[in-house]
A = this chain, B = another copy of it.
Amino acid sequence: MARTNANKGLLIVVSGPSGAGKGTVMRYVFEKCPNMRYSVSVTTRAPREGEKDGVEYFFRSADEFTEMLHNDEFLEHQKVYDNYYGTPRRFVEDLLDKGFDVLLEIDVKGALVVKRRRPDTVMIFLTPPDRGTLEKRLRGRSTETEEQLAVRLDAAIGEMKRASEYDYVVVNKDAGVAAEEIASIIRAEKCSARRNKYFLENLIYGGNSGYDD
């Protein structure tokens, strides 16, 4: 098929500190982008009540995880407390090949690993509009002590320091606007010249453009 390149979905990473408001924004983004799918991560942690294998996570034993790691089956993986989490490369590639855009909601460290391995990944950093809002959102969501809050605020600032390594920075002042911006980024990226090389070649040198229905 002529437009393989253009028909393949986009790999999209969205990161942002807790307090950025990812949950609400991404819910709106999914409403606007019916062609998008979440990646399902692999984890060694035990399933919680009601969680199904392949839905919330792929649940695997530590040995199975290690085996996958040896086989280079992860786009990125991390240890969080005593459990491992990984983004399964094959699962993601299959969705992309089918034309779905795939969303990875991962932290900065994992995100930058993915970008290194797949430079065509669209990297979006979601940030609160200012420190005051960040603090207010962190305070609002839990009954933490001031000390715990300070730790989370520090972690958030630490993540924001890496935002300039992303392709895009979306400011979540209003969740609807932020979602619209993310949808626009996805739309724009599909028009990027480098993603349309095959289309251009076909247009200029003949062949089916893939636009004739």
Given that A184-B184, A200-B163, A204-B157 are known contacts, is A129 also in contact with B168, CB under 8 Å in the complex? no
In the assembled complex, the Cα of A171 lies from the Cα of B185 at a distance in Å of 17
Interface string of A185-203 (1 = CB under 8 A from B): 1011101111011011001
Given that A130-B203, A185-B188, A199-B171 are known contacts, is A193 also in contact with B160, CB under 8 Å in the complex? no
In the complex, the answer to whether A204 meets B171 with C-beta atoms within 8 Å is: no
In the assembled complex, the Cα of A187 lies from the Cα of B185 at a distance in Å of 7
Copies of this chain: 2
In the assembled complex, the Cα of A130 lies from the Cα of B205 at a distance in Å of 11
Contact sample, A vs B, 11 pairs, CB 8 Å cutoff: A128-B203, A130-B203, A130-B212, A161-B204, A164-B193, A166-B193, A169-B196, A171-B196, A180-B187, A185-B188, A187-B188
A134 to chain B: closest residue by CB: B203
Interface string of A157-180 (1 = CB under 8 A from B): 100110111111111010000001
- Please provide the chain A residues from 7 to 38 with a CB less than 8 Å away from any CB of chain B in the complex: none
CB distance from A198 to the nearest CB of B (A): 11
- Please provide the chain A residues from 29 to 64 with a CB less than 8 Å away from any CB of chain B in the complex: none
In the complex, the answer to whether B188 meets A127 with C-beta atoms within 8 Å is: no
The count of residues in chain A whose C-beta lies closer than 8 Å to any C-beta of chain B is 43
Given that A160-B203, A212-B130 are known contacts, is A168 also in contact with B185, CB under 8 Å in the complex? no
- Across the interface, A200 reaches (CB within 8 A) one of B160, B180, B194, B212, namely B160
Beyond A161-B204, A185-B191, 7 additional contacts (C-beta under 8 Å) are A130-B203, A160-B200, A160-B204, A169-B191, A169-B193, A171-B211, A181-B187
In the complex, the answer to whether A168 meets B184 with C-beta atoms within 8 Å is: no
A197 to chain B: closest residue by CB: B164
B residues less than 8 Å from A169 (CB atoms): 191-193, 196, 199-200
Flag whether A89 is at the interface (Cβ < 8 A): no
A158 to chain B: closest residue by CB: B204
In the complex, the answer to whether B197 meets A168 with C-beta atoms within 8 Å is: no
